[in-house]
Amino acid sequence: MPKLKTHKGAAKRFRTTATGKIKRGHSHARHILTKKTAKRKRQLDIDVLVSTPDRERVEAMLPYGRA
């Protein structure tokens, strides 16, 4: 059986937790920050878990996980 390929775009965007859940960062946190409030920028900096419907799709793109 051939090896499965990791989706490199997904590999750069997602990390797995110790319990196997998948974490992601927020969008809109890189530029045009002057018009965003401090609270909004602070919230965008916190990683969150991938939603349940999207989790299967992300796991398929990362067959070997990511540390």
Q: Which residue has the tokens 């018009």?
A: 35
Band of residue 16 on the pLDDT scale cut at 50, 70, 90? very high
Q: Which domains, from first to last, does the chain contain?
A: 8-61 (4.10.410.60)
**At 56, is the secondary structure helix, strand, or coil?**
helix
Q: Is the pTM of this model over 0.85?
A: no
Mean pLDDT along residues 10-30: 95
Provide the 10 A C-beta neighbour count for residue 22. Answer: 20
65 pLDDT exceeds 90?
Answer: no
- At 27, list the tokens: 């969008």
Nearest to 66 by CA among 10, 3, 27: 10
Band of residue 37 on the pLDDT scale cut at 50, 70, 90? very high
Percent of the chain residues past pLDDT 90, beyond the cut: 94
